[in-house]
Amino acid sequence: MKISIGNDHAGPEYKKAIVDMLKSKGHEVTNYGTDTTDSVDYPDFGHPVALDVENGKADFGIVICGSGNGINMTVNKHQGIRSALCWTKEIAALARQHNNANIISIPARFTAIHQAVEMVETFLNTDFEGGRHQNRVNKIACS
């Protein structure tokens, strides 16, 4: 699987743990995130992830910022993106099952690293249920 990841200054340690897990499972990872805690602007790291997913260069995306909100809002500006802000593995599973989310947004200041890794694993290993949910997903994008 091809995964793109981006993070601001709140997420370098989270990104490293997630990337290590992804690579250990044989996934190809494109890293757009910062590796330092020096203050940066989250949109600069979210847009490239969204573009990769939107253009089919990545199967899924992962974005990380302090609250998860700013970078989530950024990637959701792209028409082909359905990004979900998740703080538990149960929410990550539902984002895939019911919303066919293609990007997971992680709030680094409100989750532990092990929780973030667990959420990403759950997100990537959960299939979209389709059925009654497909009609709803079809109504999300503005055209």
* Among 47, 19, 43, CA closest to 31: 19
Rounded to 10°, the helix 113-124/12-24 angle is: 40
Average pLDDT over the chain, rounded to whole?
97
Average pLDDT over residues 32-61: 98
pLDDT band at 9 (very low <50, low <70, confident <90, very high): very high
Q: How far apart are CA 40 and CA 75, in angstroms?
A: 16
Please tell me the predicted confidence (pLDDT) of residue 141: 84
Reading phi first (left if > 0) and then psi (alpha if -120 to 50, else beta), residue 52 is in alpha
pLDDT tens figures, 118-137 = 999 999 999 999 899 999 99
Is the confidence at residue 56, as pLDDT, over 80? yes
Residue 83: CB atoms within 10 Å: 28
Provide the pLDDT for residue 13.
98
Beta strands in 1-142 (DSSP E): 2-7, 28-31, 60-65, 83-85, 103-107
C-alpha angle with apex 32: 30 to 37, nearest 5 degrees? 130
Sorted by sequence, the CB contacts under 8 Å of residue 75 that are 6+ apart come out as 46, 47, 49, 50, 61, 63, 81, 83, 103, 105
* Mean pLDDT, range 14-25, rounded to an integer: 98
Predicted confidence (pLDDT) at residue 143 exceeds the cutoff of 80? no
Rounded Cα–Cα distance for residues 65 and 73 (Å)? 11
- pLDDT for the residue 20: 98
Q: Which residues are catalytic?
A: 65, 98
DSSP assignment of 15-40, as one string?
Answer: HHHHHHHHHHTT-EEEE-S-SS-S--
Question: What are 81-121's pLDDT values in tens digits?
Answer: 999 999 999 999 999 999 999 999 999 999 999 999 999 99
Of 19, 74, 13, whose CA–CA distance to 46 is shortest? 74
